[in-house]
Structure 1
Amino acid sequence: MSDGMPELTDASSTDLAIETVEGVLREHYGLSGQVFPIEGRQNPYFLIDNGHMRYLLKTAPADAPLPEIEAEHALMRHILRGTDGPLVPEPVLTKDGADTVVLPLEGEDRRLRLLTFLEGAPLPADDTLSDKGIAAFGSISAALTRSLEGVDNPLLEREPESDLRKAGPQTVTLLAEVTDQETRDVIAKAMVTALRRIQPLGPGLRIAAVHQNLDAGTVVGNTTEAGWLPTGVTDFTGIAKSWLVAGLANTCAFLLVNRDGDALALLPAIRAYHDLYPLTLTEIEALWPLVVARTGILTAEAESKLAQRPADPQAKEETEKRHAVLRAATAISPALVFAAFLEATGMTNPLPEMIPMLPDIDPETIRTVDLSVTSPLLYGGNWIDPENDWKMLARIARETGRCSTRYGEYRLSKSLADPRQEPENFALHVDVCVPAGTPALAPFAGTLKSVGSRIVLSGASLALHLEGLDCALPDGNELSMGDPIGAVAGAENSVGGLRLRFCRDPELLPPLFCTAEKVGTWSRLCPSPAALLGVVTDAPVPVQMNIPVRGWKEHLFDAAGRCLLDLREDTSLIGHGHPRVAAASYRQRLLLNAPSSEPFEAAELLAQRLKALAPTGLDDLYVLRGWRDAFHYALALTRNHTGRHEIVSITGVSGTTHDPAINSAGGVQGTIDSLDAGDKAGLLLAGYTQPFDGLPEILEALRRNEGLLLIDETRSGWGRSGRYLWGFEALGLSPDILVAGLPGEDIAVCFARENLAAAPDDRMEKPSPVACSVAAAMLEIWSEEDLRDNARLVGDHLKSALEQLARRHHAIQDVTGSGLCLALNFKNEELAEKITALLRRERVLANTEAPASLLIVPPLCFARDSADRLLERLETALAQN
């Protein structure tokens, strides 16, 4: 039982008077202080507080074994002399230099000893440990074991009841009082199964001094932000020599109860233990069966107590809880838990010896087929077809006769468009195409059985699951390595298909795929079957897992095939990954991509399409390399025409301009005042898709001062507002100059009235032929797929839902914009940034803009389903705030 923060009681509840204890402290230890009796001890304990230190005085019968007490004190002192052991009490010697003192107290001889008191508190009743709390138990167990290395102490030769080397006999003894045969059988079966796994591993397990009862009752801890964490060891009765891993197993059995039987909740403890005191492969393999064995003992103990006190409701409740944990422990695959433990420790289990299964196939002739997120075979969304992977494999098979998919590949075909869901797309199998009739041999010795369309060869430590093999052998047939097992199914002169997968648990049907989060465990449980083919068929591990490597429409995919929703304004206008855009770029690169001062076909085609989109009255067209060039060219046109330099700016859902001569006046009246101050070349409007109060007065001030009206439509143009091609049309304006960058591309356009003289420097670099070809293709797609109408339909739905969201969440000030050019405006900048960060964690990419706006400017192909997913994520983020 832990001595930390004990329950104090009145002196009357013990048989030793406070005055007597005070006299002992003065005469034998030279100490004084307040004395508090401690409740719940068979022999009286006292807490002593002298204002500087706190001590624990323990009493015992005079005949208590002195050698055992002295040995325990020696262990404490040994740990305290080290630098990396856990916190433990320090024995305090008497004034005569003795560990204990025997005194006649209250008519009885008693043995007393004094220890420093470890500050802290026991684990609160019914408190569930956090992952950090579980890890702390692993760390303290490892630190204690490490600090006991090399200790020669007779105390270590004792055999505590919790020694798992005696798990079988101990269970038999405990079950002797249990009369219900079904209950006895459940516990006995669990114990026998565990011991069968442990027995062959026993000779390989290290013997060491370990604490075999390190749990909530033998430690003290503190409550932190991460919950209660153990900090020191207060009880040494469980320390003895045993299997080194048994100490950790006993602690894990306690943790398993705390986490209601969840085996995988133990991983932080195992990882932390291994980091401090590395385990061997054999010890990791034995760990889970030892935990199950300890769980069986605890269940048998509970049943034994219930047999003695059948009417005790607490005993019944404890028994039911122990059985629930035992059921959970025996239900999970031991091989799965072993694999998880291997992942936690960073270790692997080598495959058994085997030979290639298809000896007639030259491994060098097998071509691997790339179906990963970055595969060139996947384009234009063809991976959405559920049969696409087989079609790709069949196509390669027709060309070569021999091919294979790759193990450990994150399949794009199994990825999902919903950012919240983790796709099960890591391949734990390979599909192999070879000539039908190819003979197959048993790669290792094992027993054969048929399960539906699968043939399973179960060896000593590995099972092979086969599909696509003609096998005439009966179930239960024992095969040696190299024995014929069958032939690849299929018509003569055709190509047959085999599906191959390994599993270390012969009773488990291994999945074909798993999530990225579970790769470490499942790849150890279901290792690569490449050895069957004699050639590496494993996909390379992505260098950077969390960085987007592919885009499709409004989605991005990282190397693991996890989806992100892309709402950023620099995304391509028509979305990511359109095959016609890629084809246009490829085709032009095959022809020419050198800069030219002469007109070329791609530029003329682009100009033709742009002129069809030109606003009324803006007949002059300038195509330049990106928004910045086009913007500065428009400024030069304005200044050259007016002879004035400064320009006043007012923006809606728009980016920030960086020209020092542009004056962001700040509000309607500020803009009017700035224009009326004179000497202004013009007014720049950007990002407006709806009229706003004060606009007529601003335009009147501009007219009075004979300035030009410039409009930046990079964000609000190209039909993004849904109802208008250009955002200014909703305002009823007649601009003199319009600038529009093509989102996602290094190209931009400047439209101007014919009567404006060309800018003095008309030698700005022109876009490359490839950029022109890509832009022309995008505009063609934009028109054919009617993306402007999609912006209207989806944008109306999204804005209406955002406005409802704003009514429910007062953190939102308002929603501005239209179509797919929207801004969610928050009460302050900090809140906007926090919501954006929460969305990023929900795999939604969006930008913020001062003062406090979250911009929603997705590509115009944005689907209604994606809009609904965005709304769900926003609701979640706002609720978390």
Structure 2
Amino acid sequence: MLFDYFAHVELPTPTLGLDEATALVRSEFGIDAMLTELGSQQDQNFLVHPVGAPEPLGVLKISNPVFTEPEIELQTLAGARVGERQPTVRTPHVVPGAEGWWQTSQGPLHARIISFVSGSTLTGSAYLAPAVVARMGELSARASLALADLDHPAAARTLQWDLRHAGRVIDTLLPLEPDLAVRERVAAVAHAARQALAPVADRLPRQLGHWDITDDNILAPDLPGALPDAIIDFGDVAASWAVGELAVTLSSVLHHDGATPLSTLPAIRAFHELRPLNTDEADALWPLVVLRGAVLVLSGRQQVRLDADNAYATDGLDREYRILEQAAAVPVAVMTRLIRHALGLPIDDSPRWGAAPLLDIDGPTVLLDAGTTAPLNDEGAWLDHDALDRAAQRALDGGAGAVLLPALSPVLTGAPLRTPTAPATIPTAATLWLAHETPLHVPEGATVDRDPTGVTITAGDASVRVTGAFDTDERMLPPRARIDVRLTAAGADVPAWLAPAVLPGWQGLVGDPAAAIGFPAPEQPGPPEAPAAPADADLLARRASVLADVQEHYYARPPRIERGWREHLIDTDGRVYLDMVNNVASVGHAHPRIAEAAGRQLRLLNTNSRFHYAAITEYAERLAATLPDELDTVFLVNSGSEAADLALRLAMAATGRTDIVAMREAYHGWTFASDAVSTSVADNPHALATRPSWVHTVAAANGYRGAHRGVEAARYAPEAVAHLRALAAGGAQIAGFICESWFGNAGGIALPDGYLAEVYAAVRELGGLAIADEVQVGFGRLGDWFWGFEQQGVVPDIVAVAKSIGAGHPLGAVVTTRAIAERYRTQGYFFSSTGGSPVSSVVGTTVLDIIADEALQENARVVGAHLKGRLEALGAQHPLVGTVHGAGLYLGLEFVRDRATLEPATTETAAICDRLLELGVIMQPTGDHQNVLKIKPPLCLTTASADFFVDMLDRVLTTGW
């Protein structure tokens, strides 16, 4: 007789003691092994590790006594079938000679040893990356495909986990649940899901399935970044609805850190790609996820009441309840529409108003744009919640009869800062301001429902809800008041605001109310608005088709950033990200003083530097004044690459030589000369092998992971000096030595004390010049020093600088002595069309003014010290943290897999950056091993933003990536 759950509601697991199980393994199977008990809800499992063996033999599974031998046989057969049909999926098998019935202290029990499958499960509630979720869906699909044509007499078994019987399980267990709040919540959620499932249930395809491909039964190899590739535990194999395989998998995603219903979409897409879902299955999927959650909650709580010592069942209660809550967090109809949208299946149209308009608007109309690129939001005005009302009142003052903020478009105005989840930035209601008191018309045949906050007018299958400060009895809309108008399917309950990602799901219930209130094509005063922006995916594809592949972008799935403000970057959905990597925008994004200065100068003059105008002289004087007195002559260019290139040519011209010495693991630029001295293999894997003959290198003076560490790092300088002298003795005529004065590309590592003093002295002794590359670290970023070389107590012969000095404008400079500059005439003349143009010069001067006026160097010192202290504290909690480099707001957080060997955590660092993006933080890796977070935000970073960054990083390191 096959097992029928409804005849055996109670399923207490076997509870053999460890000693008895160990003895039985020895006596029955002839295996001398150490056993470790594992968790299970209905069977009893032990890890079997033979004495002296390097790894476990497998898992001893003692089946629940209610299961029959044919059912156990089916489990073995199903595991073998998946392994055969899907060779990329690892599955267990029964160890030969290790299966049979035991006579135990609890009566006859069936036992077998299932082969050991190496790796780690996804058990627990750590974060699951989209790639992992997608692989879970793929594994579910592969098992479904492999088992689709398998038949067996035991396939007809009835299990509580069979989602065909979820309603019966709920009906059986719900009256037994003692907690009234839990009982009522489960009943309400399950009722809605059963109603949604009923129309398609009889049409759903059936087949044999695993039905437990969850985070507990999926394994990944124990390698960094490895995706799951194994399925274990075929104990629930039976015949049921095929789509239930995926529903079970999805449910196990929902309790993980940060998971929402949307987190399951990668798994749904991956399943559908291998084993396409028909429309009935797509419609059944989310109701089954909800029902799975309800069964988990009721069954888990029942199991704990029956078996109070079952730690596995007890530990799962909170996770199971979170699964149910997340499954029910979005209405089934909304999630079903999102699933159809994700799979490209047909979806219902948005509701439309088919009756006569509700308003007659007197006068011209204006649409209010509050999106990311709207001028309304310039200069940080988006932080002001009242900006919309003021803009509307201005339009009414200008003669508009009505102003409308459209529904269902992202609104940046009033958007929150520092949000670990994408905020709801899309209003489901249009907001209306009227110049005159206006009656609200009720179309013939429509129904009207009034309440203290507004009026709902329903015509056919659509309703318009009008709310605001007006008299609902008189139905007169007052002038200049803010009124919300929402169009929904009749009877639908829709949130006031939606996150952009869920909008496609809700559009089956909410529509654009503009036509319902008689809003005609708007009259836009002033210049026309920019054309509608193309879809982000289309724009990214267009970028890929027109730009060279090597001109990469951050992230595989980048947000579309169209606005910045101070230390924030903002995408087209109105999400505000914290920018912790953008040292180019030194004084903050979109600084109004820079915009005003550049705009004013553009209205006056912009030409090349050969013309005579004041701006270039004034800027060069200001720039030179920040440097030691002897560095008094300035060349202006457009970028750091050009600055480094020119610095090298200056050294060659001044000395009449061509040999250059550079420090390894550094990046200096992309021009011919600056690229030649760049030796970072992260930027160019062939950098060292392809250096021209005139470039020589010294070891990277990395006191953390280089050849000399800690106090031994003092050896780098004398070794570099010895190498320089050996080069000279071998015939090299050294023109110059180029080095970042603070080891920026490696992650903000300070050079050993005295390093530059010794090396600069040796270079000069040999007839060369000292070049300081300050492109990344100069201009106050280090806090205690305006220039990086100041920390070393030296004065270089040539300084190359860019990035920060233009705050995003293309501006670079080389500063040297008059004598060195004059020698450049041996190479001809120097000219840069836009280097030092009037606009560039004015921008450069304004940047210096802002740094001084807003005390940004001091801010870098104070906030940077706070940030570094908090980052260092992470090291006490998270072994992945190797160390924190840097000073001020040029920091590097280095991740290692082992603090003794310093094995770089490259894969983990990339994944951490991706996870931080989801949490609202822009971050990228650096260094030759790409295992260092390059923390170099705008100098206006606040303590609150620094704390948010560390809090999010702590969350990632705690909950996974």
**TM-score, length of structure 2 as denominator length:** 0.62
Choose from 805, 809, 818 the match for 1:745: 809
Code of the aligned partner of 2:599: Y
Choose from 589, 592, 606 the match for 1:593: 606
Code of the aligned partner of 1:467: T
Summarize deviations over 1:300-331 as a string: whole Å, max 9, x none: 9999x99xxx99999xxx9xx99x99999899
Q: 1:681 matched to which residue of 2?
A: 735
TM-superposed deviation, 1:878:
5.2
Q: 1:704 matched to which residue of 2?
A: 765
Q: 2:332 matched to which residue of 1?
A: 337
SS at match of 1:377: helix
What are the residue-to-residue correspondences of 1:253-292 with 2, within 5 Å?
279=278
Q: How has the CA–CA distance of structure 1 residues 342 and 232 changed in structure 2, closer, same or farther, with 3 Å as cutoff?
A: farther
Code of the aligned partner of 2:794: L
Choose from 766, 782, 789 the match for 1:728: 789
Is the contact between residue 349 and residue 508 of structure 2 (CA under 8 Å) also seen in structure 1? no
Gaps of 5+ in 2: 5-13, 15-23, 25-62, 79-84, 87-114, 126-131, 151-158, 222-227, 523-531, 541-557, 678-691, 700-715, 743-749
What are the residue-to-residue correspondences of 1:512-531 with 2, within 5 Å?
512-514=497-499, 516-531=500-515
Choose from 839, 864, 867 the match for 2:943: 864
Matched residues in 1 for 2:578 and 2:367: separation?
31
Is the contact between residue 455 and residue 466 of structure 2 (CA under 8 Å) also seen in structure 1? yes
Q: How has the CA–CA distance of structure 1 residues 404 and 46 changed in structure 2, closer, same or farther, with 3 Å as cutoff?
A: closer
Is the contact between residue 554 and residue 566 of structure 1 (CA under 8 Å) also seen in structure 2? yes
Count of aligned pairs = 760
User: Do residues 663 (structure 1) and 696 (structure 2) align?
Assistant: yes
What are the residue-to-residue correspondences of 1:103-142 with 2, within 5 Å?
none
TM-superposed deviation, 1:431:
0.9
Summarize deviations over 1:819-848 as a string: whole Å, max 9, x none: 223344566886263454144221332341
Matched residues in 2 for 1:864 and 1:188: separation?
44
Is the contact between residue 650 and residue 824 of structure 2 (CA under 8 Å) also seen in structure 1? yes
Matched residues in 1 for 2:295 and 2:791: separation?
78
Choose from 869, 880, 889 the match for 1:820: 889
**TM-score, length of structure 1 as denominator length:** 0.67
RMSD after superposition: 6.4
TM-superposed deviation, 1:285:
6.9
Code of the aligned partner of 1:670: E
SS at match of 1:381: helix
Matched residues in 2 for 1:645 and 1:795: separation?
40
TM-superposed deviation, 1:459:
6.5
Is the contact between residue 361 and residue 402 of structure 2 (CA under 8 Å) also seen in structure 1? no
TM-superposed deviation, 1:216:
6.7
Choose from 785, 801, 806 the match for 2:854: 785
TM-superposed deviation, 1:143:
7.4
SS at match of 2:484: strand
Matched residues in 1 for 2:359 and 2:137: separation?
51
Matched residues in 2 for 1:622 and 1:294: separation?
69
Q: How has the CA–CA distance of structure 1 residues 495 and 712 changed in structure 2, closer, same or farther, with 3 Å as cutoff?
A: same
What are the residue-to-residue correspondences of 1:341-740 with 2, within 5 Å?
341-346=336-341, 348-352=347-351, 354-355=353-354, 358=357, 361=360, 366-399=365-398, 400-418=400-418, 420-442=420-442, 447-457=447-457, 462-468=462-468, 470=470, 472-473=472-473, 486-487=475-476, 489-490=477-478, 494-504=479-489, 506=491, 508=493, 510-514=495-499, 516-533=500-517, 542=536, 543=539, 546-568=559-581, 570-595=583-608, 597-650=610-663, 655=668, 657=674, 658-659=676-677, 660=692, 661-666=694-699, 667-676=716-725, 677=728, 679-688=733-742, 692-740=753-801
TM-superposed deviation, 1:342:
1.4
Moved more, 619-628 or 846-855: 846-855
Q: How has the CA–CA distance of structure 1 residues 44 and 405 changed in structure 2, closer, same or farther, with 3 Å as cutoff?
A: closer
Q: How has the CA–CA distance of structure 1 residues 862 and 191 changed in structure 2, closer, same or farther, with 3 Å as cutoff?
A: closer
TM-superposed deviation, 1:746:
2.1
Matched residues in 2 for 1:787 and 1:442: separation?
60
TM-superposed deviation, 1:541:
5.0
TM-superposed deviation, 1:556:
2.0
Is the contact between residue 635 and residue 813 of structure 2 (CA under 8 Å) also seen in structure 1? yes
Is the contact between residue 456 and residue 466 of structure 1 (CA under 8 Å) also seen in structure 2? yes
TM-superposed deviation, 1:860:
1.7
Code of the aligned partner of 1:671: A
TM-superposed deviation, 1:120:
14
Q: 1:765 matched to which residue of 2?
A: 832
Code of the aligned partner of 1:862: L
TM-superposed deviation, 1:340:
0.6
Q: How has the CA–CA distance of structure 1 residues 602 and 147 changed in structure 2, closer, same or farther, with 3 Å as cutoff?
A: farther
TM-superposed deviation, 1:344:
0.6
Summarize deviations over 1:599-633 as a string: whole Å, max 9, x none: 22432342343243342122222222323333333
Matched residues in 2 for 1:379 and 1:591: separation?
23
SS at match of 2:425: strand
Q: 1:795 matched to which residue of 2?
A: 864
Q: How has the CA–CA distance of structure 1 residues 391 and 229 changed in structure 2, closer, same or farther, with 3 Å as cutoff?
A: farther
SS at match of 1:670: helix
SS at match of 1:436: coil
Is the contact between residue 355 and residue 444 of structure 1 (CA under 8 Å) also seen in structure 2? no
Matched residues in 2 for 1:145 and 1:461: separation?
44
Gaps of 5+ in 1: 10-37, 57-81, 84-118, 149-159, 240-245, 474-484
Is the contact between residue 826 and residue 853 of structure 1 (CA under 8 Å) also seen in structure 2? yes
Is the contact between residue 218 and residue 230 of structure 2 (CA under 8 Å) also seen in structure 1? yes
Summarize deviations over 1:740-781 as a string: whole Å, max 9, x none: 224333222222223332412333214233322322222222
Structure (1 or 2) with the larger CA radius of gyration: 1
Matched residues in 2 for 1:693 and 1:172: separation?
74
Matched residues in 2 for 1:634 and 1:326: separation?
64
TM-superposed deviation, 1:383:
0.9
Using the aligned pairs only, state the percent identity: 23
Is the contact between residue 687 and residue 715 of structure 1 (CA under 8 Å) also seen in structure 2? no
Matched residues in 2 for 1:584 and 1:745: separation?
12
TM-superposed deviation, 1:554:
2.3
Choose from 920, 927, 931 the match for 1:849: 927
Code of the aligned partner of 2:832: E
Choose from 900, 906, 920 the match for 1:833: 906
Is the contact between residue 548 and residue 556 of structure 1 (CA under 8 Å) also seen in structure 2? yes
Q: How has the CA–CA distance of structure 1 residues 446 and 164 changed in structure 2, closer, same or farther, with 3 Å as cutoff?
A: farther
Moved more, 708-717 or 130-139: 130-139
Is the contact between residue 709 and residue 736 of structure 1 (CA under 8 Å) also seen in structure 2? yes
Q: 2:224 matched to which residue of 1?
A: none
Is the contact between residue 809 and residue 878 of structure 1 (CA under 8 Å) also seen in structure 2? yes
Matched residues in 1 for 2:451 and 2:581: separation?
50
Is the contact between residue 832 and residue 848 of structure 1 (CA under 8 Å) also seen in structure 2? no
